[in-house]
Amino acid sequence: MLRWLALFILIALPTWAEEVVLGLSQDEVAITTSFDGSEILIFGAVKREAPIPEGELGVIVTIAGPPEPVTVRRKERRFGIWVNTDAVEFDGAPSYYAVASSAPLEEVLGIRENLEHRVSVTSKLNAVGAPNSVLDASSYVAALIRINTAAETYQLLEGQVVVDEDTLFRTRIRLPAALTEGAYETRIFLTRDAEVVASYETTIDVRKVGLERWLFVLSRENPFWYGLMSLAIAIAAGWTASAAFSLLRN
């Protein structure tokens, strides 16, 4: 079916040199009470008028969650106990970042291109608040990536984009359960011999719905009433359970 869809797009639309046509299995992720992560299927086609050009084709797909400032702290042994000593602040570390590519990243994307388009996760991270006492800011970057990778919030999916006949591509990217709300910037890069020849951008909207949304909004906009409500619910539940228990006993 994908193939037919792509073919239809190829015939129907006018083209320049090479272009990306994209489809998403969903462009909205609704966080409900039972939300346990989500998997997004990203598929598309390379649209072209001329015959297939020279050079190795590469496809890179990135999804980035809303950026947020974070602090990375390092522990050191002081007086026999492990204490946070130095800290480095990152201005806008993406709360989620996945890179999927059709081959190892260095093969499909040149170093300069990587910096220009900020594709690899390292190029997305800006250390801003490194004090003079920190000489090795790069180890903090590595730590941030290591911790987030372990939590599945940073993913490097090399070779996970499947390319068929230099035209069709598809990949699956998993969004973990611990997601921040916001617009998830989704980018597709088409490369020939490690140089970007075309790109495409869209967003996936991640948002809480229903009860989740209502509670979240209430806690931010009416924190006093939210607090009182939380206490009331807690006390009511405590009283009900207590009453029910003594009824059971009699």
Whether 131 contacts 86, CB under 8 Å:
yes
Stretch near other proteins under the rule CB under 8 A, chosen from 2-10, 114-122, 145-153, 165-173: 145-153
Amino acid of residue 191: T
Distance CA 51, CA 24 (A): 27
Structure tokens of 192?
């020939």
Single residue of 17, 26, 37, 174 touching other proteins by CB under 8 A: 37
Instruction: Kindly tell me the sign of the dihedral angle through the C-alpha atoms of 145, 150, 153, 158.
Output: positive
Distance CA 208, CA 191 (A): 35
Nearer to other proteins, 4 or 245 (CB): 245
Stretch near other proteins under the rule CB under 8 A, chosen from 8-16, 44-52, 106-114, 136-144: 136-144
Nearer to other proteins, 160 or 180 (CB): 180
Single residue of 72, 105, 161, 197 touching other proteins by CB under 8 A: 72
Of 78-117, which residues contact other proteins (CB under 8 A)? 80-84, 87, 89
- Report the candidate in 179, 147, 151, 152 with the shortest Cα–Cα distance to residue 73: 147
- Residue 31 interacts with other proteins (CB under 8 A)? yes
- Residue 152 interacts with other proteins (CB under 8 A)? no
Alpha carbon distances (Å) from 97 to 15, 32, 64, 145, 192: 31, 22, 4, 10, 24
Nearer to other proteins, 53 or 129 (CB): 129
Shortest spacing between CB 177 and other proteins, in angstroms: 3
Nearer to other proteins, 51 or 250 (CB): 250
Distance CA 68, CA 79 (A): 34
Alpha carbon distances (Å) from 125 to 66, 114, 142, 177, 225: 13, 13, 10, 23, 38
- Residue 136 interacts with other proteins (CB under 8 A)? no
Of 166-195, which residues contact other proteins (CB under 8 A)? 177-180
Structure tokens of 123?
């190029």
Nearer to other proteins, 111 or 243 (CB): 243
- Residue 230 interacts with other proteins (CB under 8 A)? yes
* Contact positions vs other proteins (CB under 8 A): 31-37, 68-77, 80-84, 87, 89, 140, 143-144, 146-148, 177-180, 208, 211-213, 215-216, 219-220, 223-224, 226-231, 233-235, 237-239, 241-242, 245-246
